[in-house]
Structure formats: structure tokens, C-alpha cells
Amino acid sequence: MNNLISIIVPCYNEEAAIPYFYDAITQQSELMREKFGVEFEYLFINDGSRDKTLDILKKYAELDLRVKYISFSRNFGKEAAMYAGLKNAEGSYVAIMDVDLQDPPHMLTEMYESIVNDGYDCVSTRRTTRKGEPPIRSFFARCFYKLINKISKTEIVDGARDYRLMTRKMVDAILDMGEYNRFSKGIFGWVGFNTKWLEYENMERVAGETKWSFWKLFLYSLDGIMAFSTAPLAIASIIGFLFCIIAFIMIFVIIAKTLILGDPVAGYPSLVCIIFLVAGVQTFCIGILGQYLSKTYLETKKRPIYIIKESNKGEKD
Ligand code: UDP
Ligand code: MG
């Protein structure tokens, strides 16, 4: 155990936000150093930015020994950046924060107190509002959380942010999950531990733009469902079973009608509809199988989750 708190900060094209973040976090660090006697390291992960993010990080690293940076060879995504951060953090306590100040630094004080005094392993945050977000996005987000909590055993909290402070034990548990398809919101829930939830209202970004388009979020939510539930795989069996029953009933009805009424069966249009329907359902189900298969394929390749190009920190494996 040391008295170091590591702050992991994923950055992707964030040249505008970093100075604001640095000022805010250093202020908070000073407060906590005086109050609790803790030290800090800021571990910035440059996730293949194409702007001046890396230059700015290098400048800060020269001025302040607490600033560490890891720079990826390309954009690997926020999940990979968080994983790299967790792997390279040295503190007994580790926090994950966005650089855009949507995660208020002053909450770190309360988080630290809850862990040290009340015996929690992790203090997480969730936003109670989705202010400043397009309504359609909020609607789909809510549907997603309802759905995934129905079909997955792992609890995935609606509105949960990645902003959290964790103990070393929990970080090590997360690192043991070396899967390639990382969906952190599920991983944090899956590892368990005592988690306290703090709530706050959504804040607007301090500078720069969000990196998530609707389409990106949609794909990410599919990743989440597939990483933490196998329920979609059962859809094929359920629908197949239902169709068998319906088919049996229809056969029975047709035979009865022909025998009793001598009714010739009128056919072509209804047949075409049925063929289309069954073909559609089958292709859909094969598609679901394909999705799981492709994820399994990627996992078996055991590709690295990220590749470091440069860093001012000795890399740990
Ligand atoms: N981010 C990243 N890699 C990416 C996308 C985002 O490291 O491919 C970082 C980004 O720099 C920011 C954090 O993840 O610090 C959250 O991103 P953003 O603010 O765009 O997401 P939002 O808050 O809108 O959900
Ligand atoms: Mg943000």
C-alpha cells in the first residue's frame, strides 16, 4: 500500500480541454494532499489523437512530475485507453476521469473518504439527468439499459459513468479480465465488490466536442449486449419453436377444411408471404449466430488491446 492516487485520463483529440482539466485536477490534488496527505499521479492516455494533444501532454510532463503519458500507435477507443491506464497505474487507489470536466474533480474528496472510512471498494458516479443530450439519444439509452438488465445477469446501472475511484484489489480483478471485447460498464459490475453510488447532474463539456456519434453508441450497445448476455442466441430456438407450432396448427386446419368442406386451398399469395417471413427470421437468427462467432473469432486471436508508441513511464506487462 502506498498513499498514491492514480488518475487515469483517456484523451482523444482533446487539445482544447487539457489545460482546463489540468488546472482543475491540480487544485483538487492540493486540497486532498493537505487534508489526507495523499500524493497523485495523472496518467494521460493519448488514444491516437490527430491534434496537438500529445505535444501539450509532453509540455505538462516537463513542468510537473505527476504528469505521466502513454501514447497509442493509433486510436484504439476509450475502453482500450482505460485498460492501458489501469494496467500502468501505480497507486493504491485508482480513478478514471474524462478530460472534458464532465466528471467533477471535487467529488474525489467524498469518494476517497467513503473508501477509507466506510470500507467501500469502489465509489462510482451516475448522472441523474441527461441534460444537453439529444432526446432521441436519451430515449434509446434508456431502452438499452432496460433491455440489457433483463437479459443479462450482470447489473448494468442506467446513467453510470466511467468516473470512479477504486481500490487496488478491484483494479487487479478488472485487469484479470483480459477480454478483447471490453465493455467496462459490464466488467465493473461483473467483478462485484462493495460499490457506493454518488449521483450528480449532467454537465456540459468544457471544450471540444463529444467523440460519440449515435451510430458509434449503437454499435457499442450491441457489443455490451453480446459481451454480457447470450440471450439473443436463444431467440432462434424460441422463434423456431413457435413457428413449428403455428405450422402444425395450419396443417391441421387445411387438412380438416379439405376433408370436411372439400375446399381447394387458395395458395400463391399466402405462400409467398410465409416463405418471405420464414426466410427473414432464419437469416436474422443466422446473423445473430454470426455476431457471436465473430466476437469469439476476435477473442481467439488474442490480439493486444492497445499498442504503445511512446510514453514517459516504464511500461508494465
Ligand atoms: N475518448 C478516447 N478515445 C475515443 C473516444 C473518446 O480516449 O476513441 C475519451 C475522450 O477524450 C474523453 C472521454 O473518452 O476524455 C469521453 O469522451 P466524450 O467526452 O467524447 O464522451 P461523452 O462524455 O460525450 O460520452
Ligand atoms: Mg464527455
Band (264; pLDDT cuts 50, 70, 90): low
Position 131 pLDDT exceeds 80: no
- Residue that wins the pLDDT comparison between 47 and 268: 47
Please tell me the distance from the alpha carbon of residue 302 to that of residue 298, in angstroms, as a whole number: 7
Whether the CB-CB separation of 42 and 9 falls below 8 Å is answered with: yes
Residues with CB under 6 A from ligand 1: 10-12, 14, 47, 75, 77-78, 81, 98-100, 102, 210-212
Ion ligand 2 nearby residues (CB, 5 A): 98, 100, 102
Band (19; pLDDT cuts 50, 70, 90): very high
Across the chain, what does the average pLDDT equal?
86
Tell if the pTM clears 0.85, that is, is over it.
no
pLDDT value of position 46: 94
* pLDDT, mean of residues 25-50: 92
Give every strand in the sheet of 122-127, ordered side by side.
195-200, 122-127, 160-167, 93-96, 4-11, 39-46, 67-72, 308-311
Whether the CB-CB separation of 76 and 156 falls below 8 Å is answered with: no
Please tell me the distance from the alpha carbon of residue 149 to that of residue 310, in angstroms, as a whole number: 39
Position 317 pLDDT exceeds 70: no
Position 262 pLDDT exceeds 80: no
* pLDDT, mean of residues 85-110: 91
pLDDT value of position 163: 92
* pLDDT, mean of residues 191-197: 88
Band (112; pLDDT cuts 50, 70, 90): very high
Band (222; pLDDT cuts 50, 70, 90): confident
Q: Which atom of ligand 1 is nearest to the CA of 9?
A: 15
pLDDT value of position 88: 93
Q: Which ligand approaches the C-alpha of residue 14 most closely?
A: 1
**Which candidate, 255, 226, 217, places its Cα nearest to that of 134?**
217
pLDDT value of position 180: 85
